[in-house]
Structure 1
Amino acid sequence: MSPTRRLAAALSGLLALLLLPVAAHASPAAQYTNPIAAQRADPHIFRHTDGYYYFTATVPQYDRIVLRRATTIQGLATAPETVIWRKHTSGEMGAHIWAPEIHFINGRWYVYFAAGRTDDIWRIRMYVLESSAANPLTGAWTERGRITTPWDTFSLDASTFVAGGVRYLIWAQQEPGIATNSNLYIARMGANPWTITGPTTRLTVPALAWETRGYKVAEGPAVIQRNGRLFLTYSASATDANYCLGLLTAQATADPLQASSWVKSANPVFTSNASTGQYGPGHNSFTLSEDGQSDILVYHDRNYRDITGDPLNDPNRRTRVQKVYWRADGTPDFGLPVPDGATPVRLMSYDQPGRAVRHWEYRARLEPNVTPLADSQFRIVTGLSGTGTISLESTNFPGYYLRHRNYEAWVERNDGSAQFRADASFTRRTGLTGTGTVSLESANLPGYYLRHRGGTVWVERDDGTTAFRGSAAFILE
Structure 2
Amino acid sequence: MNINRQYLNPLVEQRADPWVYKHTDGYYYYTASVPEYDRIEVRRAMSIEGLTAAQPIVAWRKYETGPLSANIWAPEIHYIDSKWYIYFAAARTTETQDGLFDHRMYALENESANPLEGTWVEKGQVKTAWESFALDGTTFQHKGVLYYVWAQKDLMIKGNSNLYISAMSNPWTLTGPQTMISTPEYPWEIIGFSVNEGTAVLKRNGRIFISFSGSATDFNYCMGLLSADEDSNLLDAASWTKLPEPVFQTSVENGQFGPGHNSFTINEAGEDVMIYHARNYKDIIGDPLYDPNRHTRAQVFHWNEDGTPNFGVPVKDSRS
Cα distance in 1 for residues equivalent to 2:171 and 2:4: 35
Gaps of 5+ in 1: 1-25, 343-477
- Write out per-residue CA displacement over residues 166-187 of structure 1, whole angstroms, 9 at most, x where no aligned residue: 1100000001200110000000
Cα distance in 2 for residues equivalent to 1:30 and 1:163: 30
Change (3 A) 1:119 1:97: closer
Cα distance in 1 for residues equivalent to 2:242 and 2:113: 39
Does residue 129 of structure 1 match 2:104?
no
Q: Is the 8 A contact 2:190 2:215 kept in 1?
A: yes
Cα distance in 1 for residues equivalent to 2:160 and 2:260: 17
What secondary structure does 2:73 align onto? strand
Which amino acid letter does the alignment assign opposite residue 44 of structure 2?
R
Cα distance in 2 for residues equivalent to 1:174 and 1:31: 37
- Name whichever structure is richer in helix by fraction: 1
Which amino acid letter does the alignment assign opposite residue 308 of structure 1?
I
What TM-score, normalized by structure 1, do the two folds share? 0.65
| Residue 137 (structure 1) shift | 1.0
Does residue 333 of structure 1 match 2:287?
no
Q: Is the 8 A contact 1:172 1:182 kept in 2?
A: yes
Map of 1:103 onto structure 2? 78
Q: Is the 8 A contact 2:71 2:94 kept in 1?
A: no
Which amino acid letter does the alignment assign opposite residue 70 of structure 2?
A
Map of 2:162 onto structure 1? 183
Equivalent residue pairs, number: 315
Cα distance in 2 for residues equivalent to 1:237 and 1:31: 28
Q: Is the 8 A contact 2:93 2:102 kept in 1?
A: no
Identity of aligned residues (%): 54
| Residue 162 (structure 1) shift | 1.1
Does residue 60 of structure 1 match 2:39?
no
Does residue 170 of structure 1 match 2:149?
yes
Cα distance in 2 for residues equivalent to 1:27 and 1:156: 37
What secondary structure does 1:213 align onto? coil
Cα distance in 2 for residues equivalent to 1:88 and 1:158: 21
Q: Which has the higher contact order (CA 8 A, sep 6+)?
A: 2
Cα distance in 2 for residues equivalent to 1:282 and 1:67: 20
| Residue 30 (structure 1) shift | 3.8
| Residue 138 (structure 1) shift | 1.8
Q: Is the 8 A contact 1:30 1:294 kept in 2?
A: no
Q: Once superposed, what is the RMSD of the aligned Cα atoms?
A: 1.3
| Residue 31 (structure 1) shift | 3.3
1:195 to 169, 173, 179: 173
Gaps of 5+ in 2: none
Q: Is the 8 A contact 2:17 2:277 kept in 1?
A: yes
What secondary structure does 1:33 align onto? coil
Cα distance in 1 for residues equivalent to 2:6 and 2:254: 17
Q: Is the 8 A contact 1:91 1:119 kept in 2?
A: no
Map of 2:195 onto structure 1? 217
Greater Rg over alpha carbons, structure: 1
| Residue 32 (structure 1) shift | 1.7
Does residue 274 of structure 1 match 2:274?
no
| Residue 120 (structure 1) shift | 5.8
Which amino acid letter does the alignment assign opposite residue 69 of structure 1?
R
Cα distance in 2 for residues equivalent to 1:32 and 1:304: 20
- State how 1:3-22 maps to structure 2 within 5 Å: none
**333-342 or 279-288, larger mean C-alpha shift:** 333-342
What TM-score, normalized by structure 2, do the two folds share? 0.96
2:6 to 8, 12, 31: 31
- Write out per-residue CA displacement over residues 63-84 of structure 1, whole angstroms, 9 at most, x where no aligned residue: 0000110000000000011111
| Residue 135 (structure 1) shift | 1.1
Cα distance in 1 for residues equivalent to 2:168 and 2:301: 28
Does residue 261 of structure 1 match 2:245?
no
Cα distance in 2 for residues equivalent to 1:84 and 1:92: 18
